[in-house]
Each structure stands twice: as C-alpha cells, then as structure tokens.
Chains A and B, each alone.
Chain A
Amino acid sequence: NAGVMQNPRHLVRRRGQEARLRCSPVKGHSHVYWYRQLPEEGLKFMVYLQKENIIDESGMPKERFSAEFPKEGPSILRIQQVVRGDSAAYFCASSLGTSGSSNQPQHFGDGTRLSIL
C-alpha cells in the first residue's frame, strides 16, 4: 500500500515564480490536508479539502496561495509570485474520514522542501 506521495521532494524557485506542489493521498482516502512547517516550528494547518471541494482554508494566506483536489489526479498547492518567506517544508496528509473521527489519524507524506532564491 502506497502512503501519501508528495512531489517534488525539493523545489527551488526564484522570487516571483510560481510553485506547484503535488500530493497523492493514500488510496481510498478522500480527505486531504496541507500544512506548512517553518524551521524549528511545528506544522501549521493551511487548508482542508475533499474531492472537488475546499472545506476549510482558514489557515491559508488570502493572496498568492490556492489549493485544489480535483476529481481525478493529485491535490495541488499553488503559490504564485513566491517570496523568500514562502521557503518552508510543505506537508500533505490524508485520512479516510475527517480527523475529528475517533479512528481516523492523518497519514503524512514526506513533504516538499521549497527554497526561494
């Protein structure tokens, strides 16, 4: 069973470029979460998606950031016009149901390390 797959593992962009981060959830999981991890900090929730729907994006910056989880294909986190402060590790997690359910831990990918030059 493949776990959560994220690619690329490392992404380097220059300021002003666009960054696209992809996440394929565990097979059968329909709930996807994106988190950002800054150095020496814990993970911060960004957005929660189900297939074709953004459920909650309260942790995502209002500008330049967007996310989608289409009916077919991986979930995409898109950052437009990147700035140095976007440098971080971005993690995707998936679950069978919402993480509020008692038996539904989130399964994490290995992350994408984004570096902005």
Chain B
Amino acid sequence: AQSVAQPEDQVNVAEGNPLTVKCTYSVSGNPYLFWYVQYPNRGLQFLLKYITGDNLVKGSYGFEAEFNKSQTSFHLKKPSALVSDSALYFCAVRVRLNSGYSTLTFGKGTMLLVSP
C-alpha cells in the first residue's frame, strides 16, 4: 500500500534554532510528495511539493524539504524556527485510486511547538 509515515507526534524546538520534521514514504514508482501545514481550526495550507528535479525543494515561509530516494524520506526543514511556525504539519503522497485517478494520502501529522 502506498503511504507516508511521520514518526514523531510532536517536535519541540527553541526559536531561532533549526527544525526538522520527518517523513518517510512507501510508494511504487516515482513519488509525488507534499507538505501541508494546519493552524488551529483552519484547513491545510500547501507548503511545497516534490515532483522531479532537484532533491532540495524550497517552499513557503522559508521552509524547504529534502527528497532522499535511498532513504525514502522527505523531511521538512527550516534553518531558523519562529514561534509563529507552531502548527500541525502533514506530509502527503499522491496515490492512485481504483478508478485510475489520483488523490493524496496523508501522514498522521506532527505538531511543531516553537518556544520563545
């Protein structure tokens, strides 16, 4: 089954420090990978995606993610965390439906808490 896993329920980091939110994937073929962020009582906001090309993908709000094929990972990173980055982060992968069309399947989410 095609899936993503987020091994950490929560990540704590001090403001100004670098942050990493981990994601590993299991898909057949070339993966299309995405990161979304969810603030309280809001929908998911698209951060970045990897389709092909450079392994380091840059996205919104200073976030970036590194695609690593050998480790089947797509970790989200930011060089210097902000308190306002505190939110729930979801990794997602494109999956093929029975109909032949595609949608996204999401990890369980990782809560990022940035302390002042």
Contact = CB atoms under 8 A, between A and B. Distances in A.
Interface of A: 4, 6, 33, 40-45, 48, 55-56, 58, 91, 93, 98-100, 102-103, 105-111, 113
24 contacts: A33-B103, A33-B104, A40-B109, A42-B107, A42-B108, A43-B44, A43-B90, A45-B105, A48-B97, A48-B99, A48-B101, A55-B101, A56-B97, A58-B98, A98-B101, A98-B102, A99-B94, A100-B94, A100-B101, A105-B49, A106-B46, A108-B36, A108-B43, A108-B45
A105 B94 CA distance: 10
A25 to B, nearest CB: 13
Contacts of B98: 56, 58
Given A4-B43, A108-B44, A102 B103 contact: no
A66 B21 CA distance: 36
Nearest to A57: B99
Counting from the closest, the 5 A-B pairs by CB-CB distance are: A100-B102, A108-B43, A42-B106, A56-B99, A108-B44
A105 B109 contact: no
Contact of B106 (A6, A40, A43, A99): A43
Contact of B43 (A40, A91, A103, A105): A91
A102 B32 contact: yes
Interface residues of B, number: 27
A105 B101 CA distance: 14
B71 interface: no
Contacts of B90: 42-43
Contacts of B42: 110-111
Contact of A102 (B52, B99, B109): B52
Nearest to A103: B51
Nearest to B45: A108
A56 B97 CA distance: 7
Given A42-B90, A48-B97, A99 B43 contact: no
